[in-house]
Structure formats: C-alpha cells, structure tokens
Chains A and B, each alone.
Chain A
Amino acid sequence: KAGVTQTPRYLIKTRGQQVTLSCSPISGHRSVSWYQQTPGQGLQFLFEYFSETQRNKGNFPGRFSGRQFSNSRSEMNVSTLELGDSALYLCASSRRLAGGERSTDTQYFGPGTRLTVL
C-alpha cells in the first residue's frame, strides 16, 4: 500500500509570497493533519481535516490555512510568507474510525515539504 505522498518536496520562496503544499493520504485514510517542524520549536500541530472540514487547529496565525477535497487529498496554504516560516511541513493521515478504535487510529507521516523563505 502506498504511503502518504507530499508535493513538492522542496520549495524556495521569498518573503511576502504565498505557497500551496499538497498531501495525498494513504488509501482509505480520511483524516489529514499538518505539522510544522523547525529546529527551534520542533514538531507543532497546525490543523486536522476530516470530511472536508477543519476539526482541530493549532496555535498558528491565520496566514496558515488548509482545505480537504472529497477524495481526502489536502492542501495547505501559507500567505504573506515570513522568514520564520522556513520549515519542514509534514502531513499525516489516519483512518479516524467512528468511535475512535484505539488500536488503529494512528497517524502515518509523509516525507514532508521543505520550505525555504528568503
């Protein structure tokens, strides 16, 4: 079974620009979460999407947004890029079964998109 895929793998942008990152979850997985990883702050939760609706949101400014499509694929967008947005952006998918079956509702990460803001 194919894993989580993210495109592009690398991006270089300049301050003030905007960027869109894409994530395709594992087949059958309906929940997609996004994380930011930086050397200083580590891995931080951005948001989760399920059934095309944002379910949870981390403590990030409104410049960070996302959406999910009917096929569960997700995109995240960062507008008005700042130097501090340089990071590895990771997408994770899970099945998110109704009732939260504990043994299977785990998240699997993609390889990430490395964003550099100049």
Chain B
Amino acid sequence: QKEVEQDPGPLSVPEGAIVSLNCTYSNSAFQYFMWYRQYSRKGPELLMYTYSSGNKEDGRFTAQVDKSSKYISLFIRDSQPSDSATYLCAMSAGGGSARQLTFGSGTQLTVLP
C-alpha cells in the first residue's frame, strides 16, 4: 500500500462547480502538506502549503488538513476551464526530511466551459 493515496480518479466538472480533491496518508510523521498543480508538459506549481492541522484559504482555493484522520483536502470554488490540470498532493516529515516530498498519484481535473 502506498504511503499517500489520492482520490478520486479522473474528474470532469462544469464551469463554476465546486471541486473537492482528497488524499489520505499512513505516515503519522508527516507534518507539511502541499497541493501542486501540474499542466501538461510542465513542472508542478505550488498552490497551497499547510503546516500541521487546520484550514488555509487563498482566493478560490481552500486547503484542509485533518491529522487525526490522516486526511487532506483541496477545495476549488467557482472552477474555471483554466483550472484544468493534474492536481498532486504532497507531504513531508519535519526536520531534515522536510524537503523529501511524498506525492499522491495525482487527480486529472477537467473543467468544461
């Protein structure tokens, strides 16, 4: 079983919909939680960064971390066709391993006009 499981599989939504992306993990040492967006043939782009549990909001994006359930989420409000991309959750432990990211497999999102 992978340390980080990302759910759901490929997702297609109409423009303006609220999108919910989720990941679960098994390693209780993880303290740093990130969401990256990756467009085709590009490197991942950091969207949200959260330390430990809690919520963080940035414009149309909200990240939630529930360490007790080992569950993280990314919500996208008022989704736009330009949000169509692959979304990757990533996480790491603290200290010297803070930059050793473990990624989920990614969710491919398509927002239809």
Interface residues of A (CB under 8 A from B): 4, 31, 33, 35, 42-45, 48, 55-56, 58, 90, 92, 94, 96, 100, 102-103, 105-112, 114
Contact = CB atoms under 8 A, between A and B. Distances in A.
Q: Is the interface of A mostly helix, strand, loop or mixed?
A: strand
Given A106-B46, A109-B43, A111-B42, A55 B34 contact: no
B100 A100 contact: no
B46 A107 contact: yes
A48 B100 contact: yes
A111 B103 contact: no
Given A43-B88, A56-B97, A108 B103 contact: no
B58 to A, nearest CB: 13
Contact of A45 (B45, B46, B96, B100): B100
B24 to A, nearest CB: 15
Contacts, number: 61
A58 B43 contact: no
Given A45-B102, A48-B99, A56-B100, A100 B94 contact: yes
Contacts of B32: 102
10 contacts: A33-B101, A42-B103, A92-B101, A100-B98, A102-B32, A105-B98, A106-B46, A107-B99, A109-B45, A110-B43
A103 B34 CA distance: 12
A92 B49 CA distance: 15
